[in-house]
Structures are given as C-alpha cells and as structure tokens.
Structure 1
Amino acid sequence: MSSPSSSLLEQFRTLPRRRQAKYAVPSIVLLGWLLSWARRIGRPDVRHADTARNRRIVAMLQTLLARRYVPSIFTPNGHFNSGLGYVKAAPKFSKTRELIRTWDGGNFALDWRDTGPGKPNLPADAPILLVIHGINGHSEEVYVVNAMAMAHARGWRAAAFNHRGCGGTELSSPWGYNGAFTGDIRLAINNLHHRFPGAPVMAAAYSLGANLLVKYLGEEGRHGCAPLAAAVVVSNPWTLEAKHVSGEQAAPHHGPLDWIVGRAYGLLLTLGLRMYVKRHQHLTGLVGREDLDMEGALKATQLAHFDKALTVPMWGYEDLTHYHVDASSWRYLADVKVPLMCINAADDPLVPPSMWPPSQTLEANPNVIFVSTKGGGHIGWCQGANPLKGLSWADEVLIEYLAAALETRGAEETAAATTSRL
C-alpha cells in the first residue's frame, strides 16, 4: 500500500513539464526559506570567565539564555532580520532635548524620556540608562526608543545620546563624529553623574555606538574605572581593520558572494555619511579646511573611501590603517572594569564572526559576558508571528542583564559594608 506522499509524487510526475515547473519553483523557494529559518534556531552561546558574579548574573537570566532563540518565520536570515528590525513599530512618548557644548565649540544632544503628565517625578537616586545609537542614526531609532521605554517601565531615567550633527542637531564645529572618538560619550556620562551624583548610571549602545562605548570603557579602565554600574553593547562591529572585515576588503577567506553583499551594505552606509556631510558642508570650519577632501567624501562609495577622504585628515590620523587600529574596540576589551554584556549574531551581514574578539580575550576578562546566537542579524532579533511588533530578543536580554547587574551590585555593596563593620 503506497503512502500519501508517494501517491502525491506519482501524481506530480504525470503532470506536463510546464505544470511541474509551475509547482516546483515555489516549492523549492518555500523549502529553502524554511531550511534557512530552521538553521538559525538554537540556544545562545554564552561565554564568560568563571566568577561568582558572572555565574549569578547568568543564573538570573536563565529563562532567556537557556531557551532557544527562534526568529520570526518572516526573518529566515540575517538580511531579513536586520531590515525588519529597523522598521518595526516602536512606542511613542515625549522627550525633552538638552544640548551639551563640547571642548571644540561643538555640541551633541541628550533626549530625555519625559515621565508624562500626572506621573510623579523620579527620585534623585533612580538609575539612569544612557542609550547610544549607531552610524547614521538618532534617538528615534526603534532600538533606542525600545530601550528607553523598557528603562522607564523599570522606574529608571532614560536619555538618548545623539552624536554631533545627528538627530536634527547642527554641526557647530569642524569635527564630526567617527568610530574612534569617545570624548563626547565621556562628557555625557560625566554630565549625568554631576547632575545625579547618587544615581547609578548604565549605558546601552548599538553598532558603531557599541564600538565607541567599549573603547571608552577600556580607556577609562586603563586609568582606573569607568563611572558606570553596567553596560550592554549590541551588534558591535569590534574591528575596522581590513584583515578582519568582510566584504569591502574582500578578505581571502570570504567568497565572491560575501564580497558583493559587503560592498552593497558598505555603499548604503556610505550614502548615509555622504548625506551627513552634505547637510553640514556649509559650515565655514569645514569649507575652509584644505586638508579635507570634501569632493572625495561626497563621491565615496565605500566606508574606507569616505574615511580616507574625510575622517583621517579631519582627526589627524597618519593614514587609514592608523584610524582603523585606533577605532577597533576589541583592542580595549581586556581593560574593561565594569560589568559588560556583549550581544552578537553569527548571521549579522555587517559583523560576521571573523570580526568578533578572540575567544581568549572574551573569556579572560572577569567583567565580560559574551552572548551570541545563530540568527538575529544586525540589531534585529525579530521574534513572534509579527516581526514588526513587540520587543526583540536582544531587547529582552539587555534590560534583564542591566537589572541583574544592578541587583548584584547592590548585594556586593551590602556584603562589603557588613564585612567592614565586623
């Protein structure tokens, strides 16, 4: 007796070739889609040094870290996950903008999440979350708004950092932001401590902002300790050095498809930077600098071309390699002295595993927990039946980690105070 599947196969074989092709093509596409989606389902890989604090925090996040991350069926790979992750719906709430002047006459903006009408003011020592966007971004990005909303729901203050010239701000000095300059983030964090001296300050950063935050933490760690209670970085590119980067530099271990895809993403990012320059090129400080290749920057098709024309001379680097080495945050990871969680996806089209820090570097620092997933894309991690709604998997992990780090910090301080009294 034949099975139903074999009976259907026999019926399919009796169809004319044109009708076979009509049904075969969509079936193959659907099968490929499902296989690609299924390959990205899996439990997160969690790496960290074996310390009491890390074990405690991981145990507190066990519900999230022990279960499989299942991408939305509509995001079968990193490209779909990345794209939909940027356009999904986000909460709406009012913000208050604060402009902060910098050492060079420039400025950046902090957008504070308003508590809303009828709601009591938060206590002076309420925790503060600073959220830092990525390249070509601003405080209205979905991931920024979600992080601020989650912080507010916990009773924390939330402020979104807008890089100079971003989020509708004017570039008021001849220096724009880049992937290595941490001075503005340092000023923002110091400003928060000055205004709320009794409040623990935390930070969450994404993509290029994540790279800057890790570099800042390492720089501060080399001279003491950064004044942060905890931090999370999501989709950090980790390195700008050509020998690690996929796509633009066409590293030998990457195939032609990786090269093409990398060039496409590089072009999209570069077009955003070109718009940034075009929007601010009327500034006298930029126009008058003969060392800047403004024409080359406005014609650049890849990030390396743009950085060579503008970033390198603007910030006084010797050459492109000098800038890339200085901007690679993995080199500063060993010096981080505050609790830090790093979240990356293996199918991130912008940050493949070849760009991640070496395993020994990740596991050597007792303050770092590195979490990676098979799927998720770049700041994507869509989940559920509707990928355009709700929190991402990374959103959930981020806020739970910060809450766990705060609780652990409080327990450690209480234990230290008790010991000192004995």
Structure 2
Amino acid sequence: MMARSFSPPWWAKNPHIQTILPVLTMVDPPQLSRQRLELSDGDFIDLDWVNDPHSIDKSTGKSPDSIIVILHGLEGSSGSHYVRRLLNDCHRLGLCAVVHHHRGCSGEPNRLARSYHSGDTQDMSETFAYLQQQFPQAKLCAVGYSLGGNALTKYLGELQADSAIDRAVVVSAPLQLSACAKRLEKGFSTLYQWHLIKALREKLTAKFNQGTVVDQASVTLQQVDTLKTFYQFDHKVTAPLHGFAGVDDYYAKASGLGSLLKIKRPTLVIHAADDPFMNEEVIPSADQCSADVTYELHQHGGHMGFIDGGSLFKPRYYLEQRVISFLMESDEGCG
C-alpha cells in the first residue's frame, strides 16, 4: 500500500478544525472482542481485539503473521476517533490489531491508587511480553498516539535492540512535556486542557470515593476541583502517585525527546507544526534522531487530525494510510 502525500483541503487548514472535526464525525468501530490482562502488581488492563487470533481454532496451530498494538492518548480508549479509524482499516485489510488500554481507560476503574502517565512503559511491556508468549511467530508493531506515542518512544529508547516491537509509528506525541503543558495554558488551547483536566478530576474524585486513593496524592478530596492546569494536576497527583519528586522531575524523566536517539527499530514519528497541544520544542533536530527514526513534520494537521480531503460531514484522512503503509513497508514489516 502506497501512502498519499499529505495536503489538507482549504477548509481544513485551521488546526482546530483538524483537531475537533474528527471527534464530531466519528465513525462506528468494527466488532471488537475484549480480553482482561492481569498485571504483575495486582492491577489489570483490558485489551480490545479486531480479527482476534484467540478465536482461531487452536487445533490448526494457526498464528497471525503480525499484530498491531494500538496505544491511545490521554483519557482515550478503543472508542477514540483515531483508534476507531485505524481499527476499521485493519479490519478491512484483514490485519490483526489490539488496543492496549491504559489503566482505568477501558470503562472500569483500575484497582490501585496509581494510574498511568506519559512515560509509563511498565504496562505496555507486560502487554508485549504476553503477546510474545502467546503468539511467538507473530511480528509485533505498535502505533502510539499523543501520550501513548510519548510512552512508546520511551519504551523504544529504553529497550533499543531488545525491543519486542519490530516497527513503530508515533503520532502527535508531546515529546517535551513541560513545553506542552505551558502551550495548553494559552489561547484556544486552554479549552483542550479544560476538557482533559475535567475528565482526570472526575476519575480522581471517583478513586477518593472508592477509597482507592487515601493519602498517596498531595491533595484532599475537597481540593480536587482546584486543579485547573496540567502543571497543577501533575504536581499534586501524577508525580506523587508514580514515584516522582514533583512535576519538574516527572516532566524531565517522562519526556520522550531524548529517547529518539536511542531507538534501534524502524520508527516513524509524525507531527504537525500547528498542533495546538505543542510548540516547536517538541520538534527534534536531525542529530536528535537515530538512523532508525523517520521524522515527518507537516505544516498542518492539528492534533491527531491530518484530514486531507472529503467534506465537512465526511472527512478523509491521511493518517491511517500512512501508518499502515509504514508498518507494511518491507518484508521485515508487519504486513
């Protein structure tokens, strides 16, 4: 499959149209099958499959040639617009794909006080290890969106040649977390921050009410609604729940930018220069990327948008075709 070059239509050059219209014109997902994966620390995550290899008659010994692992963004799920589109394309092409839900993102609260964060590679490592054990003949590819893309970048840099992933795509990843947090405190971007922080506060409130969080966070139940920005939430909640000294320590250690140079697997990184979640600090220079990293920067595209045609009511997208094209690019890929 050859990828089209990306050129947005005149009506979709605004970054907020690119970011918001995909949410308003969400497609229905294919039928999915859900699997619960118990984690080593007593918590769990849920996996949603399309073309589920578990449903194949075990007596045939048939195993998928490849599995595409999808890592969603902050407060996303298999129901997110960008995940639905990729699942639909995988289903149409007969590709096996699985959505790795971050803790608490599959519609049911996770069991522990901790949740997930932008640099969390522990849970995806357990998912990858499970897939390797269950389907040893299958090549593993991964697609990470936004927060999931940053975490995937961290994983690829940490594991390098020992990565369980054969090929990867990283989309709209906030590779410099501090800069992205500041960007979301300005202009129209504050609306995106408000929407996401509201969802995070609701989850935190539920954990207080269920007794999951007692004194691990640096706030009380009564103070949850005072958290208005990512800096505040990450300093008072994300950092203490996940073992960081504070927000600055978390942002420094969890940002994926420094991992690009360590990657030893073919990896495509896609950014839009007009992404309202980011600024130029997330854009790596050539000497910050290893020889295995292909970096694609577009002037337009918004945050996980990349509409390149169609109409306002039925947009057409560049992103899914580019992702699948890269993963199937060679005999060593996930085709």
TM-score w.r.t. the length of structure 2 is 0.90
What SS does the corresponding residue of 1:139 show, helix, strand or coil?
Answer: coil
Asked if 2 retains the 8 angstrom alpha-carbon contact of 1:342 and 1:370, the reply is: yes
What SS does the corresponding residue of 2:23 show, helix, strand or coil?
Answer: helix
Name the amino acid aligned to 1:247: R
How many angstroms apart in 2 are the aligned matches of 1:153 and 1:122? 24
Asked if 2 retains the 8 angstrom alpha-carbon contact of 1:296 and 1:306, the reply is: no
Name the amino acid aligned to 1:208: L
How many angstroms apart in 2 are the aligned matches of 1:321 and 1:281? 25
How many angstroms apart in 1 are the aligned matches of 2:84 and 2:158? 28
Q: Please list every run of at least 4 consecutive aligned residues from structure 1 whose deviation after the TM superposition is greater than 4 angstroms.
A: 118-122, 290-294, 408-411
For residues 348-379 of structure 1, give each alpha carbon's deviation from its aligned partner in whole angstroms, at most 9, with x where no partner exists: 111223322233213xx111001111111001
How many angstroms apart in 1 are the aligned matches of 2:334 and 2:199? 42
Asked if 2 retains the 8 angstrom alpha-carbon contact of 1:89 and 1:390, the reply is: no
Does residue 230 (structure 1) correspond to residue 167 (structure 2)? The answer is yes
Q: Which moved more, 1:291-300 or 1:81-90?
A: 291-300
The match for 2:106 is 167
Does residue 64 (structure 1) correspond to residue 1 (structure 2)? The answer is no
How many angstroms apart in 1 are the aligned matches of 2:334 and 2:298? 30
Aligned partner (choices 207, 214, 238) of residue 287 of structure 1: 214
The match for 1:216 is 155
- Taking the TM superposition and a 5 Å limit, the aligned residue runs for 1:219-298 are 219-221=158-160, 224-242=161-179, 246-248=182-184, 259-289=186-216, 291-298=218-225
Asked if 1 retains the 8 angstrom alpha-carbon contact of 2:19 and 2:305, the reply is: yes
Asked if 2 retains the 8 angstrom alpha-carbon contact of 1:233 and 1:341, the reply is: yes
How many angstroms apart in 1 are the aligned matches of 2:247 and 2:257? 18
Residue 309 (structure 1) shift:
1.1
| Identity of matched residues, % | 26
Residue 284 (structure 1) shift:
2.4
Structure 1 residues without counterparts, runs of 5 or longer: 1-59, 250-258, 412-422
CA-based RMSD of the aligned residues comes to: 2.6
**Residue 246 and residue 305 in structure 1: after superposition, are their counterparts in 2 closer, same or farther (change >3 A)?**
closer
The match for 2:138 is 199
Does residue 350 (structure 1) correspond to residue 277 (structure 2)? The answer is yes
The match for 1:384 is 309
Name the amino acid aligned to 1:103: S
What SS does the corresponding residue of 2:11 show, helix, strand or coil?
Answer: coil
Aligned partner (choices 89, 94, 103) of residue 26 of structure 2: 89
Name the amino acid aligned to 2:183: G
Aligned partner (choices 304, 307, 313) of residue 240 of structure 2: 313
Aligned residues: 332
The match for 1:113 is 50
Asked if 1 retains the 8 angstrom alpha-carbon contact of 2:75 and 2:196, the reply is: yes
How many angstroms apart in 1 are the aligned matches of 2:236 and 2:320? 36
The match for 1:23 is none
- Taking the TM superposition and a 5 Å limit, the aligned residue runs for 1:13-52 are none
Structure exhibiting the larger radius of gyration computed from Cα positions: 1
Residue 287 (structure 1) shift:
2.6
For residues 232-252 of structure 1, give each alpha carbon's deviation from its aligned partner in whole angstroms, at most 9, with x where no partner exists: 01101111124x754357xxx
What SS does the corresponding residue of 2:269 show, helix, strand or coil?
Answer: strand
TM-score w.r.t. the length of structure 1 is 0.72
Name the amino acid aligned to 2:247: L
Aligned partner (choices 70, 73, 79) of residue 131 of structure 1: 70
How many angstroms apart in 1 are the aligned matches of 2:47 and 2:278? 28
Residue 338 (structure 1) shift:
0.8
What SS does the corresponding residue of 1:281 show, helix, strand or coil?
Answer: helix
For residues 69-96 of structure 1, give each alpha carbon's deviation from its aligned partner in whole angstroms, at most 9, with x where no partner exists: 3324432310111001223232432111
Asked if 2 retains the 8 angstrom alpha-carbon contact of 1:86 and 1:380, the reply is: no
Name the amino acid aligned to 2:4: L
Name the amino acid aligned to 2:114: W
How many angstroms apart in 1 are the aligned matches of 2:89 and 2:61? 15
What SS does the corresponding residue of 1:286 show, helix, strand or coil?
Answer: coil
**Residue 194 and residue 71 in structure 1: after superposition, are their counterparts in 2 closer, same or farther (change >3 A)?**
same
How many angstroms apart in 2 are the aligned matches of 1:323 and 1:289? 16
| Structure (1 or 2) with the greater helix fraction | 1
Name the amino acid aligned to 1:313: P
Q: Which moved more, 1:200-209 or 1:266-275?
A: 266-275
